[in-house]
């Protein structure tokens, strides 16, 4: 990866990857992550019920990706580091749901439906828990957020400044660089508030 490529594409790629990953984690939080049967009643646990921090972390990463698109150099690097932390947190939480104790994934939903609270109490009434693919899918999306943050950290100092293409150029230096002004150039100068006759 060349420095010029990172300067041109680093911002867009980082923002899109973090935005996409966090949006997909947010979507996955609304899906069913686990099901269990309690006294003949089928109980489904959504992602947000299995992991109470899932939606807040995903929303934070989503907002961060938008701020990252506009941030200056110092703030940009701080946001990139925070994106890595958010991504790592999402990975840690979703990995626990995907590969940890399955009863923990349905504990909140079982408590809401039965009034039985506490890990021991829930375990006593839950016979079996079936996990859907969504915890693993959310884990992959969390990795995507972390990778986007790492890419932003590694390339952030090379990014072009946001809005640089719209900066007002010095009229004399622009005229010297481009040669004689034609009618279109003169009209553009007037639109910017410059008097093209000052340089004739």
pLDDT in tens, 59-69: 999 999 999 98
User: pTM here?
Assistant: 0.72
Distance from C-alpha of 145 to C-alpha of 150, rounded to nearest angstrom: 9
Segment of 20-24, 37-41, 46-50, 69-73 carrying the highest mean pLDDT: 20-24
Distance from C-alpha of 141 to C-alpha of 54, rounded to nearest angstrom: 12
pLDDT in tens, 67-122: 998 888 889 899 999 999 999 999 999 998 888 877 777 777 777 777 777 767 77
């Amino acid at each position: 990866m060349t420095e010029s490529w990172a300067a041109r594409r680093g911002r867009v790629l980082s923002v899109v990857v973090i935005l996409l990953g966090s949006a997909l984690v947010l979507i996955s939080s609304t899906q069913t992550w686990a099901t269990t049967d309690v006294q003949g009643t089928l109980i489904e646990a959504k992602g947000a019920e299995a992991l109470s921090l899932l939606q807040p972390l995903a929303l934070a990463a989503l907002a961060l990706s938008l701020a990252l698109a506009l941030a200056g150099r110092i703030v940009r690097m701080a946001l990139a580091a925070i994106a890595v932390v958010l991504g790592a947190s999402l990975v840690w939480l979703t990995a626990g749901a995907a590969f940890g104790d399955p009863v923990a994934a349905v504990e909140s939903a079982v408590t809401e439906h039965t009034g039985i609270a506490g890990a021991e109490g829930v375990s006593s009434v839950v016979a079996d828990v079936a996990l859907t693919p969504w915890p693993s899918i959310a884990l992959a999306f969390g990795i995507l957020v972390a990778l986007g943050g790492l890419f932003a950290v590694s390339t952030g100092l090379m990014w072009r400044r946001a809005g640089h293409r719209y900066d007002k150029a010095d009229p004399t230096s622009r005229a010297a660089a481009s040669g004689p002004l034609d009618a279109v150039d003169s009209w553009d100068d007037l639109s910017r508030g410059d008097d093209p006759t000052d340089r004739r």
